Structure 1
């Protein structure tokens, strides 16, 4: 099993349900692990692997579109990756708000979506 990882990706965006979040925006951290079975896919070139540059583009594009729910963003990113790479078996995507709108809160708040897929 091969796992392609993109971690600690930082984006600015206007995601959330509170008026302040939509007005001022927030900083988000994204972590992604995408796994596939290499035994069915010999390493012959970029078309035989999950290309992290391509995946970064999918994440970046979606993170710049405002949305009230981080869960919806994560789901849409995973769906798009699965469309582009139908051979993936698993995807784990976390999105964190680095300045969560919670009084006297230090840290980050977020969610993780874990999807498992059967064969192609």
Structure 2
């Protein structure tokens, strides 16, 4: 199995349930790993792999759509990756809100979602 990984992607987005979040937005960090079985590929054509540039564009587009819950954002990213790369076997994504609107909190909060398909 081969995995492509995108780590520590920093994006500004407008996700959240609280009133101010949809107006000012927040900084987010995204980590993503997408895996596929390489049994028949020769690694000589980008079309036979998961192109990390295309995956980054998917992440950017989905993060640009204001959504109340990070779970919904992660689900949309995974769905689009599977649609564009039908041979993908597994996607793991973590999305962190770097400055959560929680009084006296230091650190980041977020979710991790994993989806696996049988081939």
The two structures have a TM-score, normalised by structure 1, of 0.96
TM alignment of 1:1-120, pairs within 5 A? 1-119=1-119
| Residue ranges of structure 2 left out of the alignment (5+ in a row) | none
- TM-score, structure 2 as length reference: 0.97
3-state SS of 1:38 partner? coil
Runs of 4+ in structure 1 displaced over 3 angstroms? Answer: none
RMSD: 0.7
Q: How far apart in 2 are the matches of 1:9 and 1:87? A: 24
Aligned equivalents of 1:66, 1:44: Cα separation in 2: 38
